[in-house]
Structure 1
Amino acid sequence: MNIHDGQGVSTGVRTALVIGGGVAGPVTALALRKAGITATVHEAYPAAADGVGAWLALAPNGLTALRTIGADKAVEAIGQPVPGVVMADGAGHRMAGFGGFTELPASLAMPRAALFRALTDHAVAEGVHFAYGKRLVSAEETPDGVTAHFADGTSATADILIGADGIRSTVRTLIDPQAPDPEYGGVLSFGGHATDSGVEAEPGTMYFAFGRTFIGYWQGPDGQLIWFAGLPTDTPPGPAELAQVPAAEWLAKLREVYAGHVPGERLLRHTDPERLITVGRMERMPSVPHWHRGRMVLVGDSAHAPSSSSGQGASLAIESAVELARCLRDLPTPTEAFAAYVGLRRPRVEAIGQNAATANKIKAGKAEAAAVTFPTPEEMFRPLHFHRIDWEQRVTVTA
């Protein structure tokens, strides 16, 4: 496969069903629109996901991809710049620091729900249609299209169907009933806000403290410290059981595990139970053999969720959405477009996912941080943050 500057040929795809309205869904619809393809986003929930999820960081490569489709300003308006990174051990010793790449935009921290809302509102303003309460149950293909059937008894037909429906993707199981399940990383994830903890944090810097346990934190817009941490366990409760445990009980367990940790002990001691966020099991997708079949294809977490340890989940989903649209714009059939898209994306996302799996082992106490050779922050972030998709170049498939 190679890329050139000549004019590509169209797949003949004019319409698309996008299943899932999280991060990948609206970005995919916007990218397809730029490629001349009309997409409708079908979301299982009855309304947009306001107030759902914890915080995330959107990396410079994700923002660069958003700029391609004109959505970067909408996200920058709701994000907090955090260009700096400091890495330390659990005893409070600084190991490395990095101020960010001056050539790139800063990473942005934001509530996940705020990102959903910003992307959805921007897509709607650009003319993308969203249909809510549409939980996909099956799909059937014809030589000319694909029809999605939803739990409410309705259906919709288009030239292609794109699964942007997350780590528990229904579309993935339709493409390949033998597709792997998400892989548990050995850690339950939590977040929270610490008040008057005495822990120092420079504005615009994200801190990572490794050791027997791990905690990350930064100073939020209101001056409070926002933290995220893991509780190692080999037998994680299911979502229903997880929700039944009172926040005060989880906080007590975390305080016990982080006793003596610098600065985890102080951050947790100054966190009230009502400010605790129970995120759930830290999971990632192992290698998914089949990203597409016929007129159906996966994008984002449905194909390559790397776990939150990567700091790249949302950014990779955005990149893949843009790359998929570019391939559909330029190649003569959906099959060729999907194959080119997978060839362009799989090496990058799987390498990042493997690195995140190593970080998960450290957080779960399955590997000593001291035994792992870490690159410098600049070496670590350069191949991640400088990745760029050139929309103006044309994709071709050659023998």
Structure 2
Amino acid sequence: MSDVKRVLIVGAGIGGATAAYALRRHGIDVHCVEQAPKSSAAGTGICLLYNTVRALHSIDLAEPCLEKGLQFERFRQFDAQGNPIAVNPTQPGVGIRRPDLAQILEGAAVKAGVRLDFGVTVDEIMDRGDAVDVTFSDGRRGSYDVVVAADGAYSSTRRKVFGREFDPEFVGQSCWRFSAPRPAELDGFFLFRNEQGGTVGAIPTAKDSFYLFMLENSKEPMWMPDDQLHTLLKERFKGFTAPLIRDAIEQVTAPEQVIFRPFDVRLMPGPWWHRGRVVLMGDAAHAPTPQLTSGGGMAIEDAVVLAECLAAPGTAMQALEAYSLRRIPRVKRVWEASLQISRWERDDPLANADSTAALLLDTYRFLSEPM
């Protein structure tokens, strides 16, 4: 029998909400706090690969995602004009709008009995050895058997417990994203490349929508004025004349439609992803580049495995060590592959196009193995 009875999860994003729900399924009392004042409706879309859908199936949450999103089994490559270069079958995945996914995960957690507080942060953490005492920003206090840091790449929980040396670092790339109505021909993950080395991707998120992204290289993090994002986006897409891209660009008429973000990455070293009774998961432990569209998916896997370990017979320390041993080798391979593709894209995307596609498909095959 597990000695873990009460868990605090810091962060109610993809990983945190999934972990909260998965833990409640095992009968563990869960308190989840989120610094945002309410559930976020921001974001474009996310790709849930086969391994992620499989993890969601294990906790009975795949069907709502399949209903809201769009399943696909193709990876297609094109030139900038839209001429096909290659097509590869992949294990079934699903694209879904981020707000839809957030609603599914948060709704499941609350329905299962998770106590979810928005607009609350953690001020102090004191690990006493047999429990963790926490003071919150609203003055309340609580004591927990385990504290889970699911508060993202810039995790304040990680900084409190592990120090600033593990803050994420800029990787030399940024991303432009926006959503548009989905054309019927978009039946999978599409990737377009121009002769100057530019890369544009397109992923369906529902029967009627998809999102596009463009990668941009720079030595230093770039800042873009919020009120000019739509204009700056269109300038960068000029080298792509594929009808699918041009039709989508015409739908962008306001800066609020565009998201721009630099990529800051971090992979926490082993052998453990915990310090005492505080454990890291998702981007707090392994913030990747997005080339393999696996950041959210790996966080969902983390959540399922962490819940299994914490519910298994034994002590909290045994559970957290078992979680680290199961997750670190798998996550490390995916994180490193994604970073390698990012490097190839920064160095010479055209010359490395075949290597990029080969590594991407090889990692997808690896992800289909048991987690």
The TM-score, its normalising length taken from structure 1, stands at: 0.82
Who is 1:270 aligned against?
250
- Specify which of 314, 320, 324 is matched with residue 332 of structure 1: 314
Who is 2:262 aligned against?
281
Displacement, 1:224? Answer: 6.3
- Specify which of 104, 122, 146 is matched with residue 136 of structure 1: 122
Who is 2:69 aligned against?
79
Alignment-mate amino acid for residue 30 of structure 2: A
What SS does the corresponding residue of 1:207 show, helix, strand or coil?
strand
Alignment-mate amino acid for residue 66 of structure 2: E
Identity of matched residues, %: 24
Quick check: 2:171–2:265 contact (8 Å CA) kept in 1?
Answer: yes
Who is 1:214 aligned against?
199
Which stretch shows the higher mean deviation, 29-38 or 215-224? Answer: 215-224
Partners of 2:79 and 2:163 in 1: CA distance: 43
Who is 2:170 aligned against?
184
Displacement, 1:314? Answer: 1.3
Displacement, 1:282? Answer: 2.2
CA 56–151 in structure 1, closer or farther in 2 if over 3 Å, else same: same
Who is 2:217 aligned against?
232
Quick check: 2:22–2:307 contact (8 Å CA) kept in 1?
Answer: yes
Partners of 1:92 and 1:306 in 2: CA distance: 29
What SS does the corresponding residue of 2:267 show, helix, strand or coil?
coil
Displacement, 1:286? Answer: 3.2
Partners of 1:79 and 1:244 in 2: CA distance: 29
- Specify which of 333, 342, 363 is matched with residue 351 of structure 1: 333
Displacement, 1:328? Answer: 1.7
Quick check: 2:9–2:148 contact (8 Å CA) kept in 1?
Answer: yes
Q: For each residue in 1:256-302, what CA deviation from the matched residue of structure 2 results, as whole angstroms up to 9, or x when unmatched? A: xx426656873575342327422311232234455211111011111
Displacement, 1:165? Answer: 0.7
- 2:297 matches 1:306: no
Alignment-mate amino acid for residue 206 of structure 1: F
Displacement, 1:344? Answer: 0.8
Alignment-mate amino acid for residue 365 of structure 2: R
Partners of 2:278 and 2:169 in 1: CA distance: 23
Quick check: 2:5–2:29 contact (8 Å CA) kept in 1?
Answer: yes
Quick check: 2:31–2:114 contact (8 Å CA) kept in 1?
Answer: yes
Quick check: 2:46–2:205 contact (8 Å CA) kept in 1?
Answer: no
- Specify which of 2, 8, 14 is matched with residue 17 of structure 1: 8
- 2:273 matches 1:291: yes
Displacement, 1:169? Answer: 0.8
What SS does the corresponding residue of 1:345 show, helix, strand or coil?
helix
**How many correspondences in the alignment?**
365
**Structure 2: segments with no counterpart, 5+ residues:** none
CA 221–73 in structure 1, closer or farther in 2 if over 3 Å, else same: closer
Quick check: 1:190–1:276 contact (8 Å CA) kept in 2?
Answer: no
Who is 1:341 aligned against?
323
Partners of 1:328 and 1:177 in 2: CA distance: 25
Quick check: 1:56–1:110 contact (8 Å CA) kept in 2?
Answer: yes
Partners of 1:72 and 1:254 in 2: CA distance: 36
Instruction: Report 1:3-152 matches (<5 A).
Output: 10-49=1-40, 51-90=41-80, 92-101=82-91, 106-152=92-138
Displacement, 1:195? Answer: 7.2
CA 13–194 in structure 1, closer or farther in 2 if over 3 Å, else same: closer
What SS does the corresponding residue of 1:283 show, helix, strand or coil?
strand
Partners of 1:162 and 1:223 in 2: CA distance: 36
Partners of 2:244 and 2:344 in 1: CA distance: 16
Q: For each residue in 1:339-373, what CA deviation from the matched residue of structure 2 results, as whole angstroms up to 9, or x when unmatched? A: 1211111111111111111222244x323342362
Partners of 1:160 and 1:310 in 2: CA distance: 31
* Larger RCO (CA within 8 A; separation ≥ 6): 1
CA 21–376 in structure 1, closer or farther in 2 if over 3 Å, else same: closer
Quick check: 2:181–2:248 contact (8 Å CA) kept in 1?
Answer: no
- 2:232 matches 1:242: no
Please give the root-mean-square deviation of Cα atoms over the aligned residues, in Å: 2.7
What SS does the corresponding residue of 2:37 show, helix, strand or coil?
coil
Displacement, 1:188? Answer: 2.2
Quick check: 2:174–2:260 contact (8 Å CA) kept in 1?
Answer: yes
Partners of 1:382 and 1:11 in 2: CA distance: 34
Partners of 1:306 and 1:376 in 2: CA distance: 15
Partners of 2:155 and 2:172 in 1: CA distance: 21
What SS does the corresponding residue of 1:251 show, helix, strand or coil?
helix
What SS does the corresponding residue of 1:18 show, helix, strand or coil?
strand
The TM-score, its normalising length taken from structure 2, stands at: 0.88
Displacement, 1:77? Answer: 2.4
